[in-house]
Amino acid sequence: NIMALILPREYDLVVEFCSEPMRNDFVSILCGFAQNNNVDISVIELRLHDLCNAATTKEKRNKMLEKFFKTVFTEAFQMDYDPSLDSEQVDMKKHS
């Protein structure tokens, strides 16, 4: 009875319904709304575990941003950075 609304470049909305008929009614209304507004929509059924893994949460997005900024700063300031390290163990490159 769980549904995820996944929007590119946005947080995903995961909703739990009281029953499967309620979820099905919501999906039907949502599909009708999308069609009336010329918005493409895809309905895919997944297991709960797979659905949760596919959803982009605030936590996942923060981790992606952190990795991005570490990589950018590493290149900008010519630092040695090992992505496998979680801490801020970044050493400046020695220039000759």
DSSP secondary structure, 59-87, as one string = HHHHHHHHHHHHHHHHHHTTEE--TT--S
- The two three-digit tokens of residue 35, written as one number: 């069609």
pTM greater than 0.75 = no
How much is the pLDDT for 20?
A: 92
Please state, in angstroms and rounded to a whole number, the distance separating the CA atoms of residues 58 and 71.
Answer: 20
**d(C-alpha 4, C-alpha 47), whole Å:** 11
Question: Bridge-partner residues for 74, per DSSP?
Answer: none
Q: Residue 12: what pLDDT? A: 81
Q: Which pLDDT score, from 0 to 100, does residue 81 have? A: 59
pLDDT of residue 96: 39
- The residue ranges of every structural domain in the chain are 2-56, 59-92
